[in-house]
Chain A
């Protein structure tokens, strides 16, 4: 409670529980540039949304002006690096308890400078109650938005933009969360919002939805009736009671009616024949816990049954649940899931959302921002700035949960370009980029988390070294260390905090954290140097290759592709035979330096010479020592190879839209996807551990594909049944 001192900015005179010290760089971040606000005030929680811009440093590469200079000079870097400021758009969502609303509004007022915003979109039941307060504090006009419209807009937005947003809850597995891989078609679906009552809405398109039914038996019934029965006032405490109770003491079960015969009849004796049926026939006291549990079962079962009846009537099999009754409570997710499975016999899936609490605020924000067309962009969850799924369940410690839930953040970055599926995916709806699900695989999880912990020192050192001129680099690097370390610790205890935990998500989180502390490209200098060295060798390598016979050359080319990954010899000797040339090859490049220049470029050259067009796709933004799109443009130019191919557009350098060391083929730059379709790409080459092993190892494509990598991790090598520096060379031809 230390952070709740009495010195809250602008609220020092308030009573203790309303005053709160808000660390500005931790909660309401980027307020100074904020524009457009939306607020969703529920029964107990307020969710504030705002749009802001983030200024951060990016490393830019730029060719030297070579006129009058000899580019081949020794000791000269091949290009220059400059650090520039870049402005990107970010959506901020902050969730806090209604108790703090006044302190928060004061804080916002004090930190909001120079905004042109005049209006705030408001939704939720409390929008009415707090209207005057908001108008007075922020001097913004409150525009009230329809609750359900906001909810659905928000739901569509998170389903479209946040991978692993939806999950099923499996009570007996560890962990209990099983995330849904992004479905390209999210419609139609059923949204069951369990607030004080229940609303059942059928959503057919972005803008078309219909209230098809509801029930008055909802969260308010659990709370209200529960408070009457147990004299317990708080919702969370009621859930806590319920988690300790035995409903069979209160409910009349089938075995109570049938006696022992239920077994011989094949009946499940534990089914409830009549909720609270025993309280009607037995004259005795019932424990609060038992009554709360019985009530929870009664309400969850009833909602599940109605949801199934509506799903059946409308032929829908996906039902998303939201509202304060759910709000991430494992107890309610468990009983709702049970009920849906029971009543639908497994035909309907109960799905929950990681950002369920934010739907209203997101929707209200989108309503207000329609002129900015937020839906035309792709957005990505920023792992550095987002709190992750709450996991401390009320059973474990209700007070701790309440405290840790005081402030919860979600940040989403607007991506430069829209992202779409690679058109060559065999089945986009079943494509899962990641090879190993670390949420499922406890052994692998333990290994990788430790691995990333151990590598942290090195990353910090590298970050500091990359900015020798900066006075605060060490300080920022230390902050980065703390942030990433705490993320890793969170993931140790709650592997499901950001969706499915994977090597990719661990890598991406690290990149997000580095960016957060202005280390946009710690490898920029290393890459520059290695590119310089490789460029010098390039002409010699080409001459050697050209001197070889066909088959030898193919082998050498493959060796070259792999050699960039590792300095070890390539021992296996696959046999090559010339087939008809491909029309167009799509190559996903990996590392800068030797890899791309001495490995990929000669390979590309060979393909071009066979008459195959080549699309070389590199990362849009930096990640580790991976070659970026900008770097690829420069080094390709400097290599001066196949200049005519570039000019004639038989070789196209493209960006992937990603800044990850891994590759998600379902979220690729739209321009790339369009080109792939236009050129009729019929070969996909994916190289490197990140792109071909940690991700896409099992990716099924509609055309031929080649996945190659050298296993540079002994644990992984062992897992895959090989040795360190074993080679993955996976050539796949789709079944006819």
Chain B
């Protein structure tokens, strides 16, 4: 039963504890030469679809082949008024969901978010199963439940984030625990194969899935696993998920938090934040790429912009520069590095502050700017490079988020997405940068379940909640 995913070399290890979140368990590929492993920041391209439909409709010409721009972008300014505004392809599935909902949704309850790098799976484990129910429960359903809940790792790359588990949750009148599981998107075929092996299709269940992979793997689900996916808009799911999770809290604790004195290693504190007035809210989802949404109410939000410089960029460039193979490894290296050896600071150019423009000497003038010099290239360590990469990507996201907040006139900015998983350096930097450059106007907020909101949103859609 252990070989849930195709690979046989899974190993569970304690994570790199130096990152300040030692209680967490991290899966990690033992074999450094193994291709896969680890996890880059996931999240996928974050719901470009609707924007792009609009973009085409507004006669903007299609970008030429080979040219690029961060997928995101476009269609700013168009508010998405919900609910229930499905369009195009998903509408078929929607009907199916509606028809299924007339009955009580059968177990198992899954929500799936297939991003560009990571697949996020939430699974509701009913704890109020009666003896009678247990009796009736088909073998395959039982086997799934047991398998998922009795393991913390699946195959070589599947991880259950045990510390995130939401206990005693009531969903659709059932009490149970919500489990959070992730595995790399490239193991999707193995996952589908497992569905086939375990005869999922006999359960007549519906798989609600969001993220780009819901489209990419739809055919595989159907032909290999005999499973019909219900495809959902990823931004809808994201917004739904985050609002729901915030409302249920985190096992009695606050879901949302912020950092006080983020720049001060001694005084820095992670403190709970009560998101009692959530609107308007700037939502920055940092997966492989970044999507930025302005949320005005439960049903009213718009995608402001996005950038292709996200978690995938950090991890990808770290792999190329340092030879690291896992996200954890990249972060661990970054925690030991010194980015000022790599970056050119304002003081490196002006000897101190650039007073003419009010720029502090410590500010980065040119990311990787010192690497223009051969001598300095030879003098830096891999750790320094990893750190600089982390600082570069994080600062850039902070900068774009700040500009969006200004343009949209929004003061609270919530950063989510798996790039922030075990990534205190990035979170503190975002908190500090937002506060410093906005002169205290903007507040950076974070959320415990970082990357799982899309999957949660998909589960809520399955159960038609609310």
Q: Are B68 and A270 in contact (CB under 8 A)?
A: yes
Cα-based distance from A246 to B66 in the complex (angstroms):
7
Q: Indicate whether A345 sits within 8 Å of B407 (C-beta atoms), given known contacts A221-B366, A261-B89.
A: no
Q: Are B372 and A196 in contact (CB under 8 A)?
A: yes
Q: Are B313 and A298 in contact (CB under 8 A)?
A: yes
Q: Are B372 and A227 in contact (CB under 8 A)?
A: yes
Cα-based distance from A312 to B404 in the complex (angstroms):
10
Rounded to whole Å, the gap between the CB of B462 and the closest CB of chain A is 21
Stretch at the interface among A45-53, A79-87, A300-308, A654-662: A300-308
Cα-based distance from A256 to B117 in the complex (angstroms):
10
Rounded to whole Å, the gap between the CB of A137 and the closest CB of chain B is 24
A16 at the interface (CB under 8 A from B): no
Q: Which of A246, A264, A265, A302 contacts B309 (CB 8 A)?
A: A302
Cα-based distance from A254 to B216 in the complex (angstroms):
10
Residues of A within 8 A of B216 (CB): 257-261
B365 at the interface (CB under 8 A from A): yes
Q: Indicate whether A216 sits within 8 Å of B358 (C-beta atoms), given known contacts A261-B215, A346-B60.
A: no
Residues of B within 8 A of A88 (CB): none
Residues of B within 8 A of A298 (CB): 308-309, 313
Best-buried of A253, A274, A276, A313 by chain B (most CB within 10 Å) = A274
Q: Indicate whether A291 sits within 8 Å of B320 (C-beta atoms), given known contacts A261-B218, A266-B53, A281-B186.
A: yes
Rounded to whole Å, the gap between the CB of B345 and the closest CB of chain A is 9
Residues of A within 8 A of B366 (CB): 195-197, 216, 218-221, 224
Cα-based distance from A539 to B112 in the complex (angstroms):
100
Residues of B within 8 A of A252 (CB): 45, 116-117, 288-289, 312
Cα-based distance from A207 to B186 in the complex (angstroms):
57
Q: Are A276 and B343 in contact (CB under 8 A)?
A: no
A440 at the interface (CB under 8 A from B): no
Cα-based distance from A125 to B366 in the complex (angstroms):
13
Q: Are B403 and A310 in contact (CB under 8 A)?
A: yes
B279 at the interface (CB under 8 A from A): no
- How many chain A residues touch B (Cβ–Cβ < 8 Å)? 79
Cα-based distance from A275 to B320 in the complex (angstroms):
13
Stretch at the interface among A335-343, A427-435, A593-601: A335-343
Best-buried of A125, A196, A216 by chain B (most CB within 10 Å) = A216
Cα-based distance from A261 to B222 in the complex (angstroms):
15
B285 at the interface (CB under 8 A from A): no
Q: Which of A43, A224, A250, A305 contacts B73 (CB 8 A)?
A: A305
A508 at the interface (CB under 8 A from B): no
Q: Which of B308, B357, B368 contacts A148 (CB 8 A)?
A: B357
B400 at the interface (CB under 8 A from A): yes
Which chain B residues numbered 312 to 333 have a C-beta less than 8 Å away from chain A? Answer: 312-313, 315-317, 319-321
Q: Which of B60, B115, B320 contacts A345 (CB 8 A)?
A: B60
Residues of B within 8 A of A313 (CB): 403, 406-407
A267 to B, closest residue via Cβ? B52
Cα-based distance from A43 to B315 in the complex (angstroms):
31
B145 at the interface (CB under 8 A from A): no
A277 at the interface (CB under 8 A from B): yes
Q: Are A271 and B71 in contact (CB under 8 A)?
A: yes
Q: Indicate whether A228 sits within 8 Å of B371 (C-beta atoms), given known contacts A272-B308, A277-B116, A342-B63.
A: yes
Residues of A within 8 A of B287 (CB): 274
Q: Which of A213, A275, A276, A281 contacts B70 (CB 8 A)?
A: A275
B396 at the interface (CB under 8 A from A): yes
Q: Are B88 and A265 in contact (CB under 8 A)?
A: yes
Best-buried of B35, B184, B288, B364 by chain A (most CB within 10 Å) = B288
Q: Are B289 and A273 in contact (CB under 8 A)?
A: yes
Best-buried of B48, B213, B364, B366 by chain A (most CB within 10 Å) = B366
A310 to B, closest residue via Cβ? B403
A251 at the interface (CB under 8 A from B): yes
Q: Are A274 and B403 in contact (CB under 8 A)?
A: no
Q: Which of B89, B288, B364 contacts A216 (CB 8 A)?
A: B364
Q: Are B321 and A274 in contact (CB under 8 A)?
A: no
Residues of A within 8 A of B344 (CB): 196-197, 220
Q: Are B371 and A277 in contact (CB under 8 A)?
A: no
B439 at the interface (CB under 8 A from A): no
Q: Which of B117, B363, B369 contacts A281 (CB 8 A)?
A: B117
Q: Are B356 and A148 in contact (CB under 8 A)?
A: yes
B205 at the interface (CB under 8 A from A): no
Cα-based distance from A10 to B88 in the complex (angstroms):
76
Residues of A within 8 A of B399 (CB): 213, 215, 306
Cα-based distance from A212 to B39 in the complex (angstroms):
37
Residues of B within 8 A of A342 (CB): 63, 69, 73-74
B52 to A, closest residue via Cβ? A267
B159 at the interface (CB under 8 A from A): no
Q: Are A277 and B358 in contact (CB under 8 A)?
A: no
B370 to A, closest residue via Cβ? A224
Q: Indicate whether A221 sits within 8 Å of B212 (C-beta atoms), given known contacts A215-B396, A257-B44.
A: no
Q: Are A257 and B115 in contact (CB under 8 A)?
A: yes
Q: Which of A246, A254, A279 contacts B45 (CB 8 A)?
A: A254
Q: Are A216 and B69 in contact (CB under 8 A)?
A: no
A358 at the interface (CB under 8 A from B): no
Rounded to whole Å, the gap between the CB of A144 and the closest CB of chain B is 11
Q: Are A274 and B89 in contact (CB under 8 A)?
A: no
Residues of A within 8 A of B102 (CB): none
Chain A 285-308 per-residue mask, 1 if CB under 8 angstroms from chain B, else 0: 010000100000110011011100
Best-buried of B49, B60, B71, B218 by chain A (most CB within 10 Å) = B71
Residues of A within 8 A of B60 (CB): 345-346
Residues of A within 8 A of B55 (CB): 268, 345
Cα-based distance from A728 to B342 in the complex (angstroms):
68
Q: Are B218 and A276 in contact (CB under 8 A)?
A: no
Q: Are A274 and B320 in contact (CB under 8 A)?
A: no
Q: Are B68 and A281 in contact (CB under 8 A)?
A: no
Q: Are B70 and A271 in contact (CB under 8 A)?
A: yes
Rounded to whole Å, the gap between the CB of B388 and the closest CB of chain A is 9
Rounded to whole Å, the gap between the CB of B334 and the closest CB of chain A is 15
Rounded to whole Å, the gap between the CB of B58 and the closest CB of chain A is 8
B367 at the interface (CB under 8 A from A): yes
Q: Which of B56, B67, B369 contacts A197 (CB 8 A)?
A: B369
Q: Indicate whether A301 sits within 8 Å of B400 (C-beta atoms), given known contacts A254-B45, A275-B313, A279-B320.
A: no
Q: Are A277 and B117 in contact (CB under 8 A)?
A: yes
Chain A 236-261 per-residue mask, 1 if CB under 8 angstroms from chain B, else 0: 00000000001110111110111111
B215 to A, closest residue via Cβ? A261
Q: Are A279 and B309 in contact (CB under 8 A)?
A: no
A229 at the interface (CB under 8 A from B): yes
Residues of A within 8 A of B377 (CB): 224, 227-228
Cα-based distance from A264 to B216 in the complex (angstroms):
12
Q: Are A256 and B403 in contact (CB under 8 A)?
A: no
Cα-based distance from A260 to B220 in the complex (angstroms):
12
Q: Indicate whether A248 sits within 8 Å of B116 (C-beta atoms), given known contacts A233-B374, A265-B49, A266-B56.
A: no
Which chain B residues numbered 355 to 414 have a C-beta less than 8 Å away from chain A? Answer: 356-359, 363-372, 374, 377, 385, 392, 395-396, 399-400, 403-404, 406-407
Interface residues in chain A, defined as those with a beta carbon under 8 Å from any beta carbon in chain B: 43, 125, 146, 148-149, 195-197, 199, 211, 213-221, 223-225, 227-229, 233, 246-248, 250-254, 256-262, 264-268, 270-283, 286, 291, 297-298, 301-302, 304-306, 309-310, 312-313, 338-339, 342-343, 345-346
Interface residues in chain B, defined as those with a beta carbon under 8 Å from any beta carbon in chain A: 35-36, 40, 44-45, 48-49, 52-53, 55-56, 58, 60, 62-74, 88-89, 115-117, 184-186, 211-213, 215-218, 287-289, 305, 307-313, 315-317, 319-321, 342-344, 349, 356-359, 363-372, 374, 377, 385, 392, 395-396, 399-400, 403-404, 406-407
Nearest 10 pairs between A and B by C-beta? A224-B371, A259-B216, A274-B312, A257-B212, A261-B215, A220-B366, A220-B369, A276-B316, A273-B45, A224-B368
Contacts A/B (CB < 8 Å), 9 sampled: A216-B366, A259-B216, A270-B63, A270-B66, A271-B48, A272-B308, A273-B45, A274-B117, A275-B70
List 18 extra interface pairs beyond A229-B320, A257-B115, A266-B52, CB under 8 A.
Answer: A197-B367, A199-B357, A211-B359, A227-B371, A247-B66, A267-B48, A270-B66, A271-B71, A273-B45, A274-B45, A274-B311, A276-B316, A277-B313, A280-B117, A286-B320, A298-B308, A298-B309, A301-B307
